[in-house]
Amino acid sequence: MNIKRILSLLLVAFTTGNAFAQSSTLCDISSDINEPMPVFPVPTETQLRWHDMEFYAFMHFGINTFTGREWGYGDESINTFNPTAELNVEQWVTEIKNIGCKGIILTCKHHDGFCTWFTNTTNHSTKNNTTTYGHVDIPALLSEECAKQGLKFGAYISPWDRNHAEYARAGYVETFREQIREICTNYGEIFEMWFDGANGGDGYYGGARESRSIDAATYYDFPNTFKMIKELQPDCAIWGWDQDCHWIGNEEGWAGETSWSTYNKGANGNEYGDEDGWRWLPGEADAKNGPGWFWTFSDSQLKSAQELFNIYMMSVGRNANLILNFPPNKTGSLSATTVTRMREFKALLDAAFGNDLAAGKSATASAERSSSVNNMYAASNVTDGDKETYWALEDGETSGTIDIDLGSSQTVTYVRLGEYIRKGQRVKGFEIYTWNGSDWTKQSTTEETTTIGHKRIVKLSSPVATQKVRVKITDSKVCPLISRISIY
């Protein structure tokens, strides 16, 4: 903030004696004296960037791909990892990017303890693999390809290690932390790290072949590890463990129709969030494209494109991020049928959301918050394509309408909404209306219309031909701030 700006804000605060202005001076760069106050809790900058990631891929690939087991015991020989051809990471990234994913999270180590990078922490890694195509540092290959194609890279490193002799003892905790340090240091920017909740039980453990249990809350010394991650990767979001986002609570890829980014619960998942949650901890929905996380199944078991589309609607469409798994097979590629499904899924997304009928169209509202600067809270902000601008009502006003004129009659099926979440999640209820030439008709939707948050997509029960669409905010914690309305 430059000196002129600080002086002008101080002047505003001084002349008005206004608490809002004083608060603006401290926490915001807007110079409007009527700027809406945040409703707490609010997201961090890391969480805001994470919300914008919206949709990314999971890739489970490792020893299990070759044994057909979902959870390796930890006694697999290093050369069990034996791709029949060179890893086709270019294909992985190309196809994943094509469906609109903004990043990929790779299982660098699963519960079997096999590291798919050239680690110095254990011999149990691809570094010591002597097969034709298995001596590969997969995070290196994948992170480079992601950077080349403009995707973000993330890492899954299982805390539970069924191979390591020292697991459940002090010695392993340092090894595990060192593994994380290697990943955070040698592979460029990491946008998200996943530390799975499956912990302890039977395993190989260096030959002991026994059951070992730990207290996950204390054993890993996560507070110090998370501190290290934030030092090495300041923008990295940490999944779970009450850090930057929470597990949605199921592995079927659905969030609640009512979905708050505010949260009270502990490490266990929750599809709905908590309306009065004391911290910002948004949901991430994980889902598979077939029955297993690893390629332990066959093409005939892959989910249909429509099933993938439904998952997208129930997660991204309900204020959650979606991490959708696409496992490569033993050849080191995504199977031809996997790719076909992905492209069919993309065609469904394009058919539904390829053309925003509201983009740049005129919007008028029942009321607009006053501002000292250029109609800062105008209705037109919802169709300007800028997520940093928003329509707002005055303090104390928790309901109102905003109408979009599409210019000519169009067939409307979906309405997409977004709140300006930098100042908290507010809306508790809304309704959709269409104009029939003389009256507004309330439309029924396929699901309840309560929360909005970062992104909400609702489908009309049946498509309607109309020139104008009205969004009515019926209830909100405090005055609503709407940054986006799209109509498809």
The residues of the shown chain that bind ligand FUL, judged by CB under 6 A, are: 70, 196-198, 286, 293
Q: How far apart are CA 238 and CA 246, in angstroms?
A: 9
CA 282 to chain CA mean position, Å: 8
Residue of this chain nearest to ligand FUL (CB atom)? 198
CB of residue 287 to ligand FUL, shortest distance in Å: 9
Cβ proximity of 100 and 139 under 8 Å = no
Q: How far apart are CA 65 and CA 198, in angstroms?
A: 19
- State residue 404 phi and psi, 5-degree precision: -110, 130
CB of residue 71 to ligand FUL, shortest distance in Å: 6
Cβ proximity of 29 and 5 under 8 Å = yes
> Quick one: CA dihedral 106, 109, 115, 119, positive or negative?
positive
CB of residue 473 to ligand FUL, shortest distance in Å: 37
CB of residue 326 to ligand FUL, shortest distance in Å: 13
CB of residue 197 to ligand FUL, shortest distance in Å: 6
Nearer to ligand FUL, 61 or 435 (CB): 61
Nearer to ligand FUL, 195 or 391 (CB): 195
Partners of residue 279 on adjacent β-strands? 263
CB of residue 107 to ligand FUL, shortest distance in Å: 6
CB of residue 297 to ligand FUL, shortest distance in Å: 14
Inter-axis angle of helices 138-149 and 89-98, nearest 10: 40
Q: How far apart are CA 56 and CA 460, in angstroms?
A: 27
3-state secondary structure 37-100: CCCCCCCCHHHHHHHHHCEEEEECCCHHHHHCCCCCCCCCCHHHCCCCCCCCHHHHHHHHHHCC
CB of residue 336 to ligand FUL, shortest distance in Å: 24
Nearer to ligand FUL, 27 or 198 (CB): 198
Nearer to ligand FUL, 285 or 379 (CB): 285
Nearer to ligand FUL, 70 or 178 (CB): 70
Q: Which long-range contacts (CB under 8 A, 24 or more apart) does 306-313 make?
A: 306/348, 308/341, 308/345, 308/348, 309/345, 309/348, 309/349, 309/352, 311/252, 311/253, 311/254, 311/285, 311/287, 312/55, 312/345, 312/349, 313/457, 313/459
CA 474 to chain CA mean position, Å: 27
- Nearest-Å Rg of the Cα atoms of the chain is 25
Torsion of CA 292, 293, 298, 301, to 10 degrees: 50
Torsion of CA 93, 99, 103, 104, to 10 degrees: -60
- The reply to whether omega before 291 is within 30° of 0 (cis) is no
Q: How far apart are CA 319 and CA 316, in angstroms?
A: 6
Nearer to ligand FUL, 145 or 286 (CB): 286
For residue 192, give both structure tokens. Answer: 């998200």
Nearer to ligand FUL, 220 or 430 (CB): 220
CB of residue 194 to ligand FUL, shortest distance in Å: 7
CB of residue 293 to ligand FUL, shortest distance in Å: 4
Cβ proximity of 98 and 342 under 8 Å = yes
Nearer to ligand FUL, 334 or 378 (CB): 334
CB of residue 241 to ligand FUL, shortest distance in Å: 13
- State residue 56 phi and psi, 5-degree precision: -145, 170
| Angular region, 381: left φ>0, alpha ψ -120 to 50, beta rest | alpha
Nearer to ligand FUL, 70 or 275 (CB): 70
Nearer to ligand FUL, 293 or 390 (CB): 293
Nearer to ligand FUL, 158 or 434 (CB): 158
